Chains A and B, each alone.
Chain A
Amino acid sequence: MKTRRRTRWGLMLGALLWLSPVTAISADVDKGKEVANTCVACHGMDGAGQAQGKFPRLDILTADYITKQLHDFKDGKRNSPVMAPFVGMLDDEKMQNVAAYYASQSAQVPAPEEADDALLKRGEQLALHGDWDNYVPSCRSCHGPDNQGVGNTFPPLAGQHASYIAGELKAWQSGDRANDPQNLMLAVAERLSAEDIEAVSAYLAAQPVK
C-alpha cells in the first residue's frame, strides 16, 4: 500500500517536472512591474509606447520576443543609442521579468493619425498581398492572419505605431537592426521604397489588435 502511494506521488512529481520547463527561470510579473519603472517614460506602464517618439507598444508582443529583443539591444544586433543605457541596467532575470510584465498588459492606445486612402490602399496591398514583381511577399505570409503575429518569432504588426514600424524597416535598410532570423526581414525591407514603408506602416498601425 505504502509503496503504491509512493509510486503515485512519484508519478505526479514526474508529471509536474515534465510540464514545467525545467531550464527556464519562471518569470515574475510583479518583479517585472518594478523593473518597468525604468521603461515607463517612453513605453508607459501599460506598454502603450508613444507614436511621436517611435517608441513601440509592448503589450501586443510575447514575453519571449521582448526578452530576445532586450538581449539583442545589449549584444548590438539592434543598434539603438536610446535603448543601450537602459538594457545596460538589466540582467537576464530582470529582462525576463519585465518582458513577462509587459506581455501581460493590455494598453490603451490612441487611434493613429488618419492617412489618405491611396496610401492605405498601397499599404493594404503590401500587407495582405505583397508586391511580387519586386519579390516582396505579403507581411501576413510570415506575420500571420491579419498580421497578428505567429509564435515568438514573427511579432504582431497590427496596431503597432506607424512611426515605429517605419523606423525599424529603415533600420534594417541601414544595418542598424540585424537581429532577424536568417535575414528574413532584411531581404524584404531592402526591397521597399520610402513610399512603400510609409504606406505599409500607416496601414498596419490602423489595424485592430486581436
Chain B
Amino acid sequence: MSGQSDPRGSTFSAAELEFLAEDETIEIVPNLRMERLSLICGDFGPFRPQIATQVPIWLAVALKKRGKCTIRPPDWMSVEKLTQVLEAERDSASSFEALPFHYVEISRLLFDDARDDIPDVYMVRSLIEDIKDVRFHKIGTGLEKLSSRTYAMKLNLSAMEVNVIRPFVTGGLETFYKLGNPDLIQESSDRPQHRRPQPADRGPRRELRR
C-alpha cells in the first residue's frame, strides 16, 4: 500500500503525482510509421518518420524505451530558460516563476528515460535541483507568516510543492482556526524575531544564494 496515498491525509503519493504528470503532452519525433491511436485519453498520431507530433508523456516514454522516437524536451527545459528562471527565483522573495504545474515530475520522467534527448542534461538537471531548493526556501519563509487571521493563501506552486506543504498549510491554518480567537496568536511579523535573521517581506537574498 506504500504507493497509495494515505486515506486520512488525503494527499497524493509521489507515484500518483507522476501518474498525473504522465498525461501532460510533449512533442516527439517518431522514427516509425504507425496509424492513429484512438485511445480513451484521446486520439494521437498518425505517426510518420521525422514528422513531429504531440503525445502524452507516458506514450512518449513507452515509444522512446522501445527506440521508436526521440523526445523534444519542452521549451522551459533548456539551460538558457532555466538559468533565467533561477535568477528570477532568487531575485524575488514571493514570486514564483512560470513553470508547468508538474515540472518536477516531468523532468524526472525525462531524466529517467530520455536522457540522450535533453541537451546539456547534467546542467539542466542541476539547474532544476537549484530551482527546487530556492523555491522551497521561499515557501518555508512564507509559511512563517501564516496566522490565525489567515483565511486564504495564494500558492502558485507546482504539484509536488503543493503536495509537500499541504500538511503544513492545511494543518497549520486549521490549528489557528481552532484556536479561534484571532488575538490569541500575534501576527508573526508583530513578534520579535527570534533566532532567524529578519525574514522581511522582501526575503533575505543572501540566504538564498547558498
Q: Check if A and B associate.
A: no
Please give the residue numbers on chain B whose beta carbons come within 8 Å of chain A beta carbons, in ascending order: none
Q: List the interface of chain A (C-beta within 8 A of B).
A: none
